[in-house]
Amino acid sequence: MSVSREEVLRIAQLAELDVEEEALPTLAEQMSRILDYAAQLSAVPANGTVKVFVPGPDAIRFRTDEVTPSGLAFGPEEFAPDFKEGFFVVPKLGQFE
């Protein structure tokens, strides 16, 4: 199995996802299968000279520097779960501080 429980936990932490203890073995197993499956890509001779392919325009377009209306049909107070005195409100940072 290519992905350990510890790795699943580390990745879950990076992704800010709670993973329950009992779900860990299945997740590790499924992730391993998916990643092992994806690992067959490395069997193919794609050397460093292969340019990556990105669909869409070849070059970014330059927008004119103009202030435009927000395009919001209603403001954040309508969709925010907690909005006070013009601010989005979130719990204190805790360990983020």
CB of 7 to other proteins, least distance (A): 8
Count of beta carbons in the 10 Å neighbourhood of residue 6 = 10
| 18-40 burial code (b ≥16 CB/10 A, e <16) | ebeeeebeebbeebbeeeeeeee
Which CB sits closer to other proteins, 22 or 81? 81
Burial degree of 81 (CB within 10 A; 0-12, 13-18, 19+): exposed
Beta carbon of residue 6, minimum distance to other proteins (angstroms, whole number): 12
Element (H, E) at 29: helix 24-38
| Choice between 22 and 53, CB closer to other proteins | 53
Question: Shortest gap between Cβ of 21 and other proteins (angstroms)?
Answer: 13
Least CB distance to other proteins at residue 44 (A): 6
